[in-house]
Structure 1
Amino acid sequence: MHTQSHFDPARVPHLLGRFAPVTEEVDEVDLMVHGELPGDLDGLYVRNGPNPRFTPIGSYLFPIDGDGMLHGVWISEGRAKYRNRFVRTPGLLAEEKVGHALWGGIETLVMPGEDEVSSELAGTLKDLPDINVVRHGGRLLALAESACPLRVDSELKTLGRETFGGALPAGITAHPKIDPVTGEMVVFCYGLEPPYLTWSAIGPDGVVRRGPTEVAGVDEPMLIHDMALTERFVVLTLGPVFFDLTAAMNGGSVLAWRPERGTRVALIPRDGGPVRWASDEAFWLWHTVNAYDTSPADGAEVVLEYVQWARLAVGGESREDTGEPVKSALVRAVIDPTLGTMQRSVLDDSRVEFPRVDDRMIGRRHRRLALASETGDVDLLQGEFDALRWYDTRDDSSLTWRAGDLSVGEPVFAPSPGDTSDGRGYWMTFATDRTDDSSWLLVISAEDPAAGPLARVRIPVRVPLGLHGCWLPTEE
């Protein structure tokens, strides 16, 4: 355990301003709408993100640390209502009981003892289901980095840890992928002890079809944030980011960037065959766009699109040793599973993140993708963006909507009901005005996204910037 005296949360950029947490839980109906909400939208847009309930102690590392808070906007018949709720983990409930934080961040591993919490919680890490949210098999799940998700009900009330009937006790990734054809949800989980990396598959009924299966060839604990899926493969990109618990216990960083190790991509056959590896020079990715097989043949190549970073950058650390910003780019990699090679090409070297496609195209060749982007007109923090950009993969052309005074988040696609094509519908994102801290849900037509929002829905509380959400159409 580390001392806490050196940590000053008032100096952490991602605890301030537009990233600062909110503590009030609000319910409001008949939200103010500028413009007109499309009449065919019927469902819930919900987003999760780091939101410490109490002032952090020990350390705070964005985007990994923080309690989860769900922000939901229900849309129907051109009207909208809002609710936000904390994801109430056992640890958060214990902190609410005493009125202050008991756990520190991942960098310092501050944990309460039995004099402060129950014996079941003493000396344990805190659940942090603050990254993403997904609905599958009748469950709505708030997702942590690599741990058990927390199940919530349709009104965003926390129900408890989800272990899938005890079949996945170690948990799952924050970025599972749901095959839109089979309905299967594929997940991975990394750990600090062997096996360091496993993958699993959950049927559309929510029953685990493949329990934790070790990924051979991983002999150290590594940070892996996202994954991709094709018809044939589970695709995991292993950038050279290793957990170093010895350094952490001695005041150093728990995450070690080792570029000399390079980056490896695991192509894991979904039928259970042996892992195929490809490797290249070191790079890091937070988020994949999508992946697909060029053909169903066994030797066919795999195309992986993702946002590439020159190295890992977390928290307030957003510049190289030279003082230059750590760069990101939209990249397409073509991977040969037989030769173990990958050819990377940069599609756009602008600073971009939070890539999304129409979820109905996951694992298949997609035409359109959207990202949050930066214009360069104003100074923004890492994880903050002031534009949205859309790409057409037929010719790699792009369209941009500059958001002006708004800082925008991840764009999420909501297909028009009954549409089976790749692209007719709407893009949604939360945005916060930098002039007055007001937050809005933006609804943008996918047919003319550069024209900007069709509707702006006023949110009654400021929604802290980041991280991930989804559109959940009303189930018949």
Structure 2
Amino acid sequence: MPNAAAVTAGNPFLEGNFGPIMEEHDIQDMEVRGSIPKDLEGNFLRIGPNPVHIFSVETYHTFDGDGMIHSIEFSAGTARYRNRFVQTEGFKLEQETGDWVWKGMLSMLDPTPARVPEGMPGTKNLANTAFVFHNKTLYALHEPSQPTVIGLPNLDTRGTSDFDGKLTHSFTAHPKVDPHTGEMMTFGSSFEAPYVNYSVISATGELVHTTPINIPKPIFMHDFAVTENHSLFLDFPITLDIERAMAGGPALGFDAEHGSRIGVLPRFGNDADVRWFEVEVGVVIHTANAWEEGRVIVLQAARSKTTNIIGAGEALGDDPTETQGQLYQWRIDLDSGEVEEGLLCDVHCDFTRINEKYSCRKNRYVYGAIFHPTRPLTFNGVVKYDNDTGAKVTYEYGANRFGGEAVFAPRVNSQSEDDGYIISFIHDETAEQSECLIIDALDLAAGPVATLMIPHRVPYGFHAGWVAA
């Protein structure tokens, strides 16, 4: 059990179900309401921040927390739950020290002397944000850091990867894997020019292509999108500005004057090959998918008018939904240079996901986590959007029941794009009960076909993943 500092009060990111747990579990006998489908085979994974040693309760931000993975392994109608800290070098050093070593993102300007030993990176690898599964390898991701290899199903940490020394830039939390070629496309953002670097990793795990992407200033580029032949970069107005932070403002700020544009690059192109297309000013944190229709590129993502991520920006008026995304589409004509864009679905949502067998190609269905209308950073349901008909179906978790990212898991021998299950962790704050919901994607409105009652609390987290058996 980790040597934990006793800090759970005085900061909303440390209280209630946002607060950390310190125990690691391995549980096979859980109460199940309904029946676990026998054609659900694989590992449902959710990662998020679970801080142990904290420099300052007042300035702690949820992005600072040590990575913890919660997983459920499904096999033949049974389920096995596990949770494990990601044993990064930084996590292990703080455990050995018994106190904080790295201060946190909102404490960068604090005059307290750093405790980082010589030779270790100034930024702690938290491995707390998202997953990617590529070349039969599961990686836990943290944008300023190298990807961390995680073993399945036991969740053991196997160290970081620099792809035989060829990875020379940071690694986004949202790389894209083309299921047809097996290639993985990734990028990294930086405070220093060229601000963005892009790479392609082959189906066998060899980094085969890297190029800088020159943009005017550093920005928060959290996600991108990939089609059959192109990669799309979002130069949107969440800017990074240390001088602004030193003047008392946010390091990350919403800057409408920066504008919004989408860069289109051939998969193996270089910086000179990027074509930039101006679009209406807005914010995209997470994309859903992108594909090609002849010479037209289609991008779908959750888009908001502004943002409050890490306190950046401000709501336009008093409507909190100004900072909440809605499913949106851009159609970029590579021949005419024209862009058609507009709202697809009025439900406020984020964490947009698809059946990943359709990544980089046209998909029919998009799933998203529904924002609570007034409570920040909280999701209270899931929505399914149909690109062919424009129809939407929703399922809400119920009063005082909140969740996070829901993923699509294809049914064994599935017969259609939506023939599978939507899986997510939720927490009932009234009953103080954490659960895993399994919903038939063909009948989302009907709610769970099975609910696993987790015998301890599963804190709210970041991204989820599915790895088929």
- Partner residue in 2 for 1:4: none
Q: Deviations over 1:261-283 (max 9, x none)?
A: 21111111113161111112321
- CA distance in 1 between partners of 2:27 and 2:245 (Å): 43
Q: Deviations over 1:350-393 (max 9, x none)?
A: 321111000001111111111111464xx52x221111111111
Asked if the contact 1:147/1:189 (under 8 Å) is kept, the reply is no
The amino acid across from 2:253 in the alignment is: A
Q: 1:390 to 1:246 in 2, by over 3 A?
A: same
Q: 1:429 to 1:327 in 2, by over 3 A?
A: closer
- Partner residue in 1 for 2:302: 307
Query: C-alpha displacement at 1:10, in angstroms?
Result: 3.7
Q: Deviations over 1:397-420 (max 9, x none)?
A: 011112103212211111112225
Query: C-alpha displacement at 1:72, in angstroms?
Result: 0.9
Asked if the contact 2:169/2:197 (under 8 Å) is kept, the reply is no
- Partner residue in 2 for 1:163: 162
SS of the aligned residue for 2:96 comes to: helix
Q: 1:387 to 1:323 in 2, by over 3 A?
A: same
SS of the aligned residue for 2:442 comes to: coil
Query: C-alpha displacement at 1:339, in angstroms?
Result: 4.1
330-339 or 388-397: bigger deviation? 330-339
Query: C-alpha displacement at 1:432, in angstroms?
Result: 0.7
Pairing 1:189-338 to 2, within 5 Å after superposition: 189-210=188-209, 212-216=210-214, 218-249=215-246, 251-272=248-269, 274-295=273-294, 300-315=295-310, 320=315, 322-325=317-320, 326-338=323-335
123-132 or 355-364: bigger deviation? 123-132
SS of the aligned residue for 1:125 comes to: coil
Query: C-alpha displacement at 1:65, in angstroms?
Result: 2.5
Residue 406 of structure 2 is aligned to residue 408 of structure 1? no
Q: 1:185 to 1:61 in 2, by over 3 A?
A: same
Pairing 1:348-367 to 2, within 5 Å after superposition: 348-367=345-364
- Partner residue in 2 for 1:451: 446
Pairing 1:90-109 to 2, within 5 Å after superposition: 90-109=89-108
- CA distance in 1 between partners of 2:312 and 2:10 (Å): 13
- CA distance in 1 between partners of 2:225 and 2:267 (Å): 12
The amino acid across from 2:59 in the alignment is: S
Q: 1:114 to 1:139 in 2, by over 3 A?
A: farther
Q: 1:365 to 1:117 in 2, by over 3 A?
A: closer
Pairing 1:47-86 to 2, within 5 Å after superposition: 47-57=46-56, 59-62=59-62, 64-86=63-85
The amino acid across from 2:31 in the alignment is: M
Asked if the contact 1:141/1:150 (under 8 Å) is kept, the reply is yes
Q: Deviations over 1:2-28 (max 9, x none)?
A: xxxxxx984432222222222211111
Query: C-alpha displacement at 1:348, in angstroms?
Result: 2.2
Asked if the contact 2:307/2:315 (under 8 Å) is kept, the reply is no
The amino acid across from 1:34 in the alignment is: R
Task: Calculate the TM-score normalised by the size of structure 1.
Answer: 0.90
Q: Deviations over 1:72-101 (max 9, x none)?
A: 111111111111111122222121122222
Q: 1:27 to 1:9 in 2, by over 3 A?
A: closer
- Partner residue in 2 for 1:137: 135
Gaps of 5+ in 2: 1-6
Query: C-alpha displacement at 1:421, in angstroms?
Result: 2.9
- Partner residue in 2 for 1:126: 124
- CA distance in 2 between partners of 1:110 and 1:41 (Å): 49
Task: Calculate the TM-score normalised by the size of structure 2.
Answer: 0.91
The amino acid across from 2:283 in the alignment is: W
SS of the aligned residue for 1:95 comes to: helix
The amino acid across from 2:296 in the alignment is: E
Residue 365 of structure 2 is aligned to residue 368 of structure 1? yes
- CA distance in 2 between partners of 1:386 and 1:360 (Å): 27
177-186 or 336-345: bigger deviation? 336-345
Asked if the contact 2:307/2:324 (under 8 Å) is kept, the reply is no
Q: Deviations over 1:436-470 (max 9, x none)?
A: 22111111111111100000112233222231111
Residue 412 of structure 2 is aligned to residue 417 of structure 1? yes
- CA distance in 1 between partners of 2:131 and 2:119 (Å): 26
Over the residues paired in the alignment, what is the CA RMSD in angstroms?
2.3
Identity of aligned residues (%): 34
Q: 1:415 to 1:113 in 2, by over 3 A?
A: same
- CA distance in 2 between partners of 1:114 and 1:261 (Å): 35
Which of 380, 384, 388 in structure 1 is aligned with 2:382? 388
Asked if the contact 1:414/1:426 (under 8 Å) is kept, the reply is yes
SS of the aligned residue for 2:309 comes to: coil
- CA distance in 1 between partners of 2:111 and 2:158 (Å): 24
Deviation >6 Å, runs of 4+: 110-115
Q: 1:448 to 1:266 in 2, by over 3 A?
A: same
- Partner residue in 2 for 1:30: 29
The amino acid across from 1:336 in the alignment is: D
Q: 1:115 to 1:221 in 2, by over 3 A?
A: closer
Q: 1:22 to 1:319 in 2, by over 3 A?
A: farther
Q: 1:395 to 1:256 in 2, by over 3 A?
A: same
Gaps of 5+ in 1: 1-7
